[in-house]
Structure 1
Amino acid sequence: MPLTGHCLCKKVTYTVEVDQPAIVAYDHCDDCQRQSGSTYSLVAVVPKDKLTINGPSKSWAGKGTSGHAVHRVFCSECGSPIAHDPDAAPEIIAIKAGTLDSEIKKTLKPDTEIWTQSKLPFCQEHLAKPFKGMPE
Structure 2
Amino acid sequence: MPLTGHCLCKAVTYTVKGTEEPLLTAYDHCDDCQRQSGSTYSLVAVVLKDKLEVNGPVKKWKGTADSGNAVWRWFCEECGSPIAHDPDAAPEIIALKGGSLSTEIKKTLKPDTEIWTKSKLPFCQEHLAKPFEGMPQ
Distance 2:5 2:83 in 1: 9
Unmatched segments (≥5 aa) in structure 1: none
Unmatched segments (≥5 aa) in structure 2: none
Write out aligned runs for 1:91-130 (5 A). Answer: 91-130=92-131
Q: Which residue of 2 aligns with 1:89?
A: 90
Amino acid in the other structure paired with 1:100: L
Q: Which residue of 2 aligns with 1:7?
A: 7
Q: Provide runs of 4+ in structure 1 moved above 4 Å.
A: none
**Cα RMSD between the aligned structures?**
0.7
Q: Deviations over 1:29-48 (max 9, x none)?
A: 00000000000000000000
Write out aligned runs for 1:58-97 (5 A). Answer: 58-97=59-98
Amino acid in the other structure paired with 2:16: V
Q: Deviations over 1:13-42 (max 9, x none)?
A: 000111110000000000000000000000
Amino acid in the other structure paired with 1:4: T
Distance 1:125 1:78 in 2: 33
The CA deviation at 1:125 is 4.4
- Using the aligned pairs only, state the percent identity: 79
Distance 1:116 1:106 in 2: 24
Structure 2-normalised TM-score?
0.98
Amino acid in the other structure paired with 2:102: D
Distance 1:48 1:117 in 2: 27
Q: Deviations over 1:43-101 (max 9, x none)?
A: 00000000011001100001111211000000000000000000000000000011100
Distance 2:47 2:125 in 1: 27
Amino acid in the other structure paired with 1:111: D
